[in-house]
Amino acid sequence: MFLKNSSQLLQDIKPENALYLRKVALKTLELALEAIKPLNLIHEAVSFEKSKLRVLGQEFPLNKEGFIYIIGGGKAAAEMALAIEELLGKNAWDRYEGIINIPEGLELGSIRSKSKIKMNRASHPIPNENGVRGVKEMMNLIEKSRQDDIIICLITGGGSALLPLPREGVSLNDLQEVNAQLLACGASIQEINTIRKHLSAFKGGNLAKKIHDVSGATLITLIISDVIGDPLDVIASGPTVPDRSSFKDALEILKKYNILDDIPLSARQLIEDGVKGKREETPKESDACFRNVHNFLIGSVKVAINKILPYLEQEGFQAEYFSDKISGEAREFGKYLFDKLKAEYHVFDEKQIVLQKKQALIGSGELTVTIKGTGIGGRNQEMLLSFIKEAIPHAMSRDFLILSVNLDGIEGNSNAMGAIVDNLILEQTKQLRLNPELYLENNDSNSFFKKVHSELISGPTGCNVNDLLICLII
């Protein structure tokens, strides 16, 4: 099991409906996580035979004298690398080596000690020197490559922070400051990554350009998406994908959030020089560097959705995937979700209702939080706390449960992946006389959910796709 505190969440839970909803919700979460395990995704998409590599039906010849280099990084990259190495081993192919950047704190119990792929630990969401060191080692491997070689790049969410290589003139400290300000200002992941790409010598297609300039080796990128809509140029800031954004876009984003004058001068100067044409743009679709590049999306949250919908229907729920584009400010979505459950599903304020079918609403996406306080929390927990704030004044007329999580296992600056809210949590909030507004104002949602014992604890799961929202109503 991924979840470490399931027993506590189910202990002494009454009435029966509340216990049933918690059991179903936690089973649904486990099924979702199992479906998106990187090991499973790799084995579904990739196979090696004696003379060829096959990815999603497309074949690539393996030159007997050729070498395979494995690079990349992200929150799910460790298990992806293990799966690739297992496949190479079964094919008795030992002409390979690699290095990937993975998050600090990720447990590697399943990674073989004799692996020829180095696991380099780096920080997230703010990049650090270890991350830079790992990327430089990747660049050294690329320098060794030849035209007949294959470079396999493993890319997952988190790669934007885990794969830092500042452009000339920008220091790591400056890059860290830019990242911190972007994460705190409420910018979307697309906007944040537009800035990151234009301050990086690795992202925004620059990795593909480097490989093309050095050897022209075949570049195969295996991608697991954590971004709404799965735009390949946004996931981990698209190191092997043509960049659709520009220096001008980056400048406008900094102006939009009023942080242009606050970021380090080196970063501001680089972007302004880029707008003036004094710095080279990121490579675009017509660039020759992409001629021998093959990008494959092998996993996203939709794999999990396809797994859990049949289970919920088997449990008798009328299940609906109501949104795959959940986005925006976490607090505002919490209000929207309350209004939806009240108006459309009569969870609140209805004294007499006709007995309805069990209903399940599934959503996915990624919310944002504008940080104003100094508390501990994350986007899903903040959204749920906003929901509680709206719901507290109202009577409950149906049994319900909401589970909202970051499937990589850690969100924000908390140790939780998310939390659950149900009838019991609302009653407990009233009994303990907790004021959700005070916790919201300090961005301290995790402290709230600790008090009501409904945070979800898994630790890093090794998975990374969009966040998952589950609403169950009976």
Tell me the per-residue pLDDT of 239-263, one tens digit each, with 9 for 90 and over: 999 999 999 999 999 999 999 999 9
CB atoms within 10 A of CB 345: 18
Domain 38-165+200-245+282-299 architecture: 3-Layer(aba) Sandwich (3.40)
| Interacting residues of 374 by C-beta distance below 8 A, sequence separation 6+ | 442, 443
Nearest to 269 by CA among 168, 163, 128, 164: 168
pLDDT given at position 354: 61
Per the DSSP assignment, residues forming a β-bridge with 403 are: 420, 470
pLDDT tens, position by position, 181-195: 998 888 888 999 999
Residue recorded with tokens 């660039």:
287
pLDDT given at position 186: 83
Q: Residue 129 — pLDDT band, cuts 50, 70, 90?
A: very high
Q: How far apart are CA 132 and CA 101, in angstroms?
A: 9
pLDDT given at position 357: 86
pLDDT tens, position by position, 348-399: 976 666 667 899 999 999 999 989 999 999 999 999 999 999 999 999 999 9
Which 3 state secondary structure label does DSSP give 412?
coil
Cα 303 to chain centroid, rounded: 14
The secondary element (H helix, E strand) that includes residue 70 is strand 68-73
Residue range(s) occupied by CATH 3.40.1480.10 in the chain = 6-35+302-473
Q: Residue 64 — pLDDT band, cuts 50, 70, 90?
A: confident
Nearest to 471 by CA among 321, 351, 326, 329: 321
Residue range(s) occupied by CATH 3.40.50.10180 in the chain = 38-165+200-245+282-299
Q: How far apart are CA 260 and CA 269, in angstroms?
A: 10
Residues in the chain: 474
pLDDT given at position 452: 98
pTM: 0.87
Q: For domain 6-35+302-473, is the CATH number 3.40.50.720? A: no
154 in Cβ contact with 82 (< 8 Å):
no
48 in Cβ contact with 93 (< 8 Å):
yes
% pLDDT > 90, the chain: 90
Which 3 state secondary structure label does DSSP give 261?
coil
* C-alpha distances in Å from residue 321, one per residue of 19, 265, 443, 464: 24, 45, 29, 19
Does the pLDDT value for residue 112 go beyond 70?
A: no
Q: How far apart are CA 267 and CA 269, in angstroms?
A: 5
Residue 289 is given by DSSP the state G
The angle at the Cα of 157, spanning 156 to 163, to the nearest 5 degrees, equals 80
pLDDT tens, position by position, 88-110: 999 889 999 999 999 987 777 65
Gyration radius of the chain's alpha carbons: 23
pLDDT tens, position by position, 147-158: 999 999 999 999
Does the pLDDT value for residue 111 go beyond 60?
A: no
Q: How far apart are CA 45 and CA 84, in angstroms?
A: 11
Q: How far apart are CA 444 and CA 448, in angstroms?
A: 7
Q: Cis before residue 125, ω within 30 degrees of 0?
A: yes
Q: Residue 66 — pLDDT band, cuts 50, 70, 90?
A: very high
